[in-house]
Amino acid sequence: MNNLNLSLAVIGVLFLSNSASAIDLTDYKVIEGTYSNAYLTGSLNVNDDSDAEQTSYSASVNADLTSVYTTAPYTLEYNVYGQGSTHRASDANASRETEYRTGADIEVNKYLKNDDTYFVYGNSELGYQKLSTTTSASDPFVKVGAGVGYGRMYVATPLANAMRIAEDLKEYKIIKPSISDKALMALARVIGLQSEYASKYGADVYRQYWYSDMEKVLKENDALVGDALSATGVVRLNEILSTGDARGVLARLHGWKVQAGAGQILSDYNGDSGDTTVDAEFDYAQPFGYTAQLRENLKTSKVLSSSANLDYKITNDLSYTYEISDKVDWINSWNLAYLKANNTGEDVTTNVLGTTFRYYLANKLTFDTTLSLNNVNGSNLGFSETKGWNTTLLSNISYRLQ
């Protein structure tokens, strides 16, 4: 029996619940899961005031991809990003300043008992950048690492999609108002098998089989008002789950993991190599209903070399996303970094606060309005101190790659 048939055979058995309370995303603890988010964003701002000495402008482009694939024996996560900007002030002697950063990282966790407890990991990180304070690009950054950890992150997006589908189909009176937790879990399990359907039936036609099996589990769990989803129900499923539209539930995760190990810097941005690091990380995710997501990630890295410019670095990334409607998300973030200088110069603390309203258009496009505050305390390690908090209000169009 292949994986798809086996998965369908256990639907409705693995997720029975005797609790009288409403279903929660943290109830979804299916180890197998995958998700990918990829966006390309660009913006341009030109000012030509009558009293300005020259036209000022700023332009930026950002691209990022995050992908997670998780199974019982291992998880694979990789991230790719690119950021570039150029700007010129309105002063007569102001010249164009350009900076860019690009990089990628990958990590594999091998679970020793095929569960959510102990694992060993291996990872690597690549980076390349040019700061606005320099005239040329830095040397590439290359680092590899390995260590041990405990815990697991669950991808609960299928259940979040099932909850949205249930809410939507109730409005059209296609499913009953009192759909059971068992039916929602069964529907979520089928939704989570999207990649297996695409692999078995082909990317062009798999949706008809995918939607048909969703209809079957709803019917088997006495959730349908009639005998079938109807044409309207299929259209609504496609509207919510279609990859041809930017809309849809963003990744919903729950769980936590902690890990520690050693790393080796093969090349830093100054071209030096040979530094060994001690690394630790704590990752936590908590959804609230299917409309909100909290994510906390804390990392620290200590360089075991008295001659290195950097002694240690601590970063903390906190984000909270709230889904106002199926077309509007409210995304808030706080990125904090503390860099401890090893020998000379100041320590550096950076803070970036951001709040974004994202409106989902058709054809994978979104319209984003972002208010950001950023501050740099300390001039060292490639950073220049700001006099206070820099405020930026920016609107742009993003294209969802996947």
Tens of pLDDT along 112-156? 999 999 999 999 999 988 776 666 667 788 999 999 999 999 999
pLDDT in the model for residue 183: 94
Given a cut of 50, the residues of the chain with pLDDT beneath it are 1, 6-21
State residue 166's pLDDT score.
93
Residues in the chain: 402
pTM, to two decimals: 0.83
Q: How many other C-beta atoms lie within 10 A of the C-beta of residue 154?
A: 21
Note the pLDDT of residue 154: 92
Say what the pLDDT of residue 395 is: 84
pLDDT of residue 15: 38
**How much is the pLDDT for 188?**
94
